[in-house]
Amino acid sequence: MKVRFINHISLIPESTWHALVGTNYPFLRHEFLDALEASGSVGAESGWLPMHLLVESEDGRLLAAMPLFLKTHSYGEYVFDWSWAEAYQNHGLNYYPKLLAAIPFTPATGQRLVKAADCSDEVTALVAKALQDKAQQLGASGWHVLFLEKEELAQWASTDADIRLGCQFHWHNEGYSDFDGFLAAMNSKKRRTLRKERNTLTAQGIQFKRLTGDAITPVIWQRFQAFYQLTNLKYNRHHGYLTPDFFERIYLTMRDSLLLVVAFDGEEAIAGALNFIGGDTLYGRYWGCIREVEFLHFETCYYQGIEYCIQHGIQRFDSGAQGEHKVPRGFRPTLTYSVHWLKHTGFKQAVKRFLIEESVAIQRYRDEMTQALPFKNVDKESA
């Protein structure tokens, strides 16, 4: 086996990439990564320099792959290490650049080191060694793998990397027949609250459409992009990490994997939420509006997605990072995982101690949030 790095996903054929990674996880699809890179949403100027890792056999067969970037900052990651960078700076050391295996601007759990079914168990150790060597070569402080699946953790146990926990809030389909069936699983107080929120919008004449594929017209797609840019400008003082060209590219190449929820006041579209459809998971990603309406965000970003999952038998709804307000709306606290390797021995030991203490606090927080769920019967283990 040999490891090589490529600086653009287009350097590997789409068919070769998909033969290994599949298409069920939308953010590892060749089209998605290519849209990020070709649109300039990532690249050297953005601080996300593509450096994807490939493991190949001697005859050139792709055995494993990992989305990889050289980062010069920590924006757009959602696993926060700003305090680590500050500690480095205070000691006269450089934390950046660093190597990062992640999906840019996408805190959604999925495979990070994807291996062929017949691939040797030695490949993870090979990749870890290649990452360490690359970090030395580039003067990077270390390497990090974000939002990997729990099942992948065992692969990294012998690589001298440290595990970090996080907590998000995901909705799970318990075989509900419809939205009322979902509400029936809640206690009466929470059930009344959710119905009130939905009825308030109905009383104002706000209606919703869930659009997929060719039902997402060019006009409504442009309208959604305006929502996205205006909302980012309002809250983040920029138009968003993603360029207009990125949206145009995924519209052309991934439209069948998109669910666009649009809110209408009469004939006017006033808000939208873009979701990606995975194999058994709906991923809520981007939202925007041009008018503030009470409960509009909850309906557009959460309840419409839940209804879609129920109607289509989708098992999980990952609506994005953070948000304790999701708990009373039926989203379960769910642990997330990342692994980290730092080159500097002293800082590595300090971070290891920090992560041990942090993991205890994260698991306690998860348990507390589980007890706050609105369901009649709360099963802590199911979270």
- Please choose, from the candidates 68, 8, 27, the residue with its C-alpha nearest in 3D space to the C-alpha of residue 320: 27
Query: How far is it, in rounded angstroms, from Cα 292 to Cα 131?
Result: 46
Per-residue pLDDT tens over the stretch 145-201: 999 999 999 989 889 999 999 999 999 999 999 999 999 999 999 999 999 999 999
pLDDT (0 to 100) of residue 383: 44
| pLDDT tens profile 89-136 | 999 999 999 999 999 999 999 999 999 998 887 999 999 999 999 999
Reduced to 3 states (helix: H, G, I; strand: E, B; else coil), residue 30 is helix
Under DSSP, is residue 67 helix (H, G, I), strand (E, B) or coil?
Answer: coil
Looking at the DSSP assignment, which residues form a beta bridge with residue 146?
Answer: 338
- Axis crossing angle, helix 14-21 with helix 30-38, rounded to the nearest 10: 130
- Residue 240 has a pLDDT of 81
Q: What share of the chain is helix, strand, coil (3-state, %, to 5)?
A: 45, 25, 30
- What letter does residue 143 receive in the DSSP assignment? E
Give the three-state DSSP class for 270. strand
Token readout for 142 is 């270390």
Per-residue pLDDT of the chain (383 residues; tens, 9 = 90+): 999 999 999 999 999 999 999 999 999 999 999 999 999 999 988 999 999 999 999 999 999 999 999 999 999 999 999 999 999 999 999 999 999 999 999 999 999 999 999 888 799 999 999 999 999 999 999 999 999 999 999 989 889 999 999 999 999 999 999 999 999 999 999 999 999 999 999 999 999 999 999 999 999 999 999 999 998 888 777 778 999 999 999 999 999 999 999 999 999 999 999 999 999 999 999 999 999 899 999 999 999 999 999 999 999 999 988 789 999 999 999 999 999 999 999 999 999 999 999 999 999 999 999 999 999 876 544 44
Tell me the C-alpha distance between 152 and 149, whole Å.
5
Nearest to 211 by CA among 265, 246, 251: 251
